[in-house]
Structure 1
Amino acid sequence: MSEVFEGYERQYCELSASLSRKCTSAGLLDGEQKKQKLSEIKTGLEDAEALIRKMDLEARSLQPNVKAMLLAKLREYKSDLNNLKTEVKRITSPNANQSA
């Protein structure tokens, strides 16, 4: 497997876990604290998207047998990222605190 891909993958997994924790804590905050946490989360989401793009480019440059395996992993990461985005939308909706 590609060391470059593995490096991006490690960064993505750490970032994803951090974003998940931040989403949980943001759901418990309100006012300025919540805005600040959401700003951190949005920046993190952009970083995560960039890492996924880099992993995608790296995976596509590899041998077909390795490429297929890495692209399957990438689909999982994209799904994970979409779940995080959905969670952020839920947190930012006006009635998020009432549904928690």
Structure 2
Amino acid sequence: MSEVFEGYERQYCELSANLSLKCNSTSLLPDGVEKNAKVNEVKSGLDDCDVLIRKMDLEARSLQPSVKAMFLAKLREYKSDLNKLKRI
């Protein structure tokens, strides 16, 4: 197993969960300065998620074929999850 990948994975999962909560709470805010600030926080978080996914991708591709496929499958799920968050 790749400890590096798993470290990135933990960071991504925490960030993704926080972003999901922020997206839901931001949609309830009235338009204004506070909402714009929250939207900017979410955008920054999405950028951070993109960076973590790229790091996981590089790490997964450097692994031996016996474990590589498993990590790439997880990565596909995370990419799909991130795309859903981007559409919210």
Smaller-chain TM-score bracket:
over 0.9
Matched, 1:64 2:61: no
Tell me by how many angstroms 1:23 deviates: 0.1
Deviation above 6 Å: which 4+ runs of structure 1?
A: none
Q: CA RMSD in A?
A: 0.5
TM-score by length of 1: 0.86
Aligned length: 87
Tell me by how many angstroms 1:65 deviates: 1.7
- Could you say what secondary structure the match of 1:27 adopts? helix
What do the CA deviations read for 1:44-76 (whole angstroms, capped 9, x no partner)? 000000000000000000011211000000000
Amino acid corresponding to residue 16 of structure 1 in structure 2: S
1:6 match: 6
Could you tell me which runs of 5 or more consecutive residues in structure 1 were left unpaired when the two chains were aligned.
88-100
Amino acid corresponding to residue 14 of structure 1 in structure 2: E
Seq. identity, %: 75
What do the CA deviations read for 1:26-58 (whole angstroms, capped 9, x no partner)? 101121111000000000000000000000000
Could you tell me which runs of 5 or more consecutive residues in structure 2 were left unpaired when the two chains were aligned.
none
Amino acid corresponding to residue 57 of structure 1 in structure 2: L
Per mean C-alpha deviation after superposition, the further-off stretch among 26-35 and 11-20 is 26-35
